Amino acid sequence: SYSIFTVLLMYFTSISTTQTTDCIHLREQCVSAANECESVWNVVEDVCNISVLGNRCKAEDTIGCNRIIQVLAEKYPEFKNCICTTDNFCSFMTFLGRQCTTTKDNISTETKIQWSLSTLSKKPYRTNRTCLDVNKECVEDEVCNKQLSLYLKICSVNKNCNMEECQGAIRFFYQNMPFEVAQMMTFCDCIQHDESCHRAKELLHGKPCAVTAVPPPSCLNVIRICEENELCRKKYTTFRSKCWRHVTKRCYGDEACLETLIKGDMPCSANPDCKAAYISNWGTMLRVECTCQNLLPAEQALCKLFHHMLHSTSCFS
């Protein structure tokens, strides 16, 4: 993985109009190439939060943002003169000719327009779909197949997998598709011995690249790491309030109180807002497979509670 550093290539105040124009051309070439350049660019947009409404050019995941910018610059050196960051946050004041007041990311908007033309987006969500059927429908749909291919290029297990890049690709994939399609993908399942279906499920759900760490972290550490990252913390707060309102109301942030709860005390509100919050967790630390093994007995109850909240599908089945 890439070392933690900040890319200091040039200040935005010194970028010339010519360079900016060249960068716009490079960006258009990259996006229209439909190859790995487009995949990396999509992750740059997502990880650096260029698309966040009211973002004011501030990237929440500064380390991930600078890492993925470096990936782009190393793979495509012509981008180097376009990149502009400070050591506190990624500044996109003139990054590829965009103004800081831009509130809607072009790639994201274009992707959503493409999805509106998809036949899948017209189909109502049905429960109890197999992941093999869902994967087949996606591959047969031109828009879905293109977006799936871009995401799989980043998350391919055939190369050295970068978890942060793959998680960014998953966020872009799921958060730009229609809610009905996202439900179809995330809530598909397989019977126990259907290997083809399980392979399709792993592809759709980012396994192993985005969710499997070695050794697996404890569920307590997953929550603590998430809470240290602003983007992840916001998603976790929304997820708790939308899906586990009873827990939030009773024990907000109080670990001693949470330890007293048992699964029977935890009704989950499986409404559309909860499902949307759950899907929003995909591509974050919250989806990493975690364990409660090797913890002290005093930590077991809280760990198992967090594991149930993050990974139990009983809420949606």
For residues 87 and 56, the model is more confident at 56
For residues 217 and 117, the model is more confident at 217
Percentage above 90 pLDDT, the chain? 29
Rounded to whole angstroms, the Cα distance separating 256 from 208 reads 33
- Please check whether residue 239 is in contact with residue 281, taking contact to mean a CB–CB distance below 8 angstroms: yes
What is the per-residue pLDDT for 266?
A: 63
> What are the contacts of 224-231 at 24+ separation with CB within 8 A?
225/285, 226/284, 226/285, 226/286, 229/60, 229/61, 229/285, 230/60, 230/61, 231/49, 231/60, 231/61, 231/284
- The structure's pTM equals 0.65
What is the per-residue pLDDT for 61?
A: 59
Q: Kindly state the average pLDDT of the residues 29-33.
A: 78
What is the per-residue pLDDT for 62?
A: 59
Categorize the per-residue pLDDT at 219 as very low, low, confident or very high, splitting at 50, 70 and 90. very high
Q: Kindly state the average pLDDT of the residues 162-189.
A: 91
Domain extents for the chain? 12-104, 107-204, 219-311
What is the per-residue pLDDT for 284?
A: 93
pLDDT tens digit sequence for 187-210: 999 998 899 999 999 999 999 999
Measuring CA to CA, which residue among 134, 114, 164 is closest to residue 2?
A: 164
Q: Which CATH architecture has domain 219-311?
A: Orthogonal Bundle (1.10)
What is the per-residue pLDDT for 130?
A: 95
pLDDT exceeds 90 at position 19 = no
Return the top range by mean pLDDT from 34-38, 225-229, 245-249: 225-229
Categorize the per-residue pLDDT at 59 as very low, low, confident or very high, splitting at 50, 70 and 90. low
pLDDT exceeds 70 at position 268 = yes
Q: Kindly state the average pLDDT of the residues 100-116.
A: 60
How many contiguous H segments (helices) and E segments (strands) does the chain have?
A: 15, 0
